[in-house]
Structure 1
Amino acid sequence: MPQMKPLMWMIQYLFLIIMMMFYMMINYFNNSNKIYFKTKINLKKIILWKW
């Protein structure tokens, strides 16, 4: 069962990305463009930091 761990990690990472996208969409539809823009920059930093 060595392949289970990377699979679980990938599922968790995908879930995190989906949650982030959902959060960004909420901000976008609330017309809080400044918050949306800030979130986009922060997400890019977080993703770059993770890799």
Structure 2
Amino acid sequence: MSLFDVTFDQLAMAIMTTIAIREVMIVTLPDHIAGPGGWLIDTAVGDRV
């Protein structure tokens, strides 16, 4: 399989899957891991001015 064999549908599905997994992680993991100030996913990054 080469890079040129990847279709738009496959790329879109990979992006949507990544976003879905991230959202599940934010909901299920404790805040010190995935939350405001979390080391894996910091949800407060956009709040800082």
Q: State TM-score, norm by structure 1.
A: 0.52
For the aligned residue pairs, the C-alpha RMSD in angstroms reads 2.1
**Higher helix fraction: Structure 1 or Structure 2?**
1
What percent of counterpart residues are identical?
6
Computing the radius of gyration from Cα coordinates, the structure with the larger value is: 2
Count of paired positions: 35
How is 1:3-14 mapped onto 2 (pairs within 5 angstroms)? 5-14=7-16
Gaps of 5+ in 2: 1-5
Q: Name 1:19's counterpart in structure 2.
A: 21
Unaligned runs of 5+ in 1: 45-51
2-side partners of 1:17 and 1:8: how far apart?
A: 14
Matched-pair contact (CA < 8 Å) for 1:24–1:40: no
Instruction: Extract structure 1 runs of 4+ deviating beyond 4 A.
Output: none
C-alpha distance in structure 1 between counterparts of 2:31 and 2:7, whole Å: 38
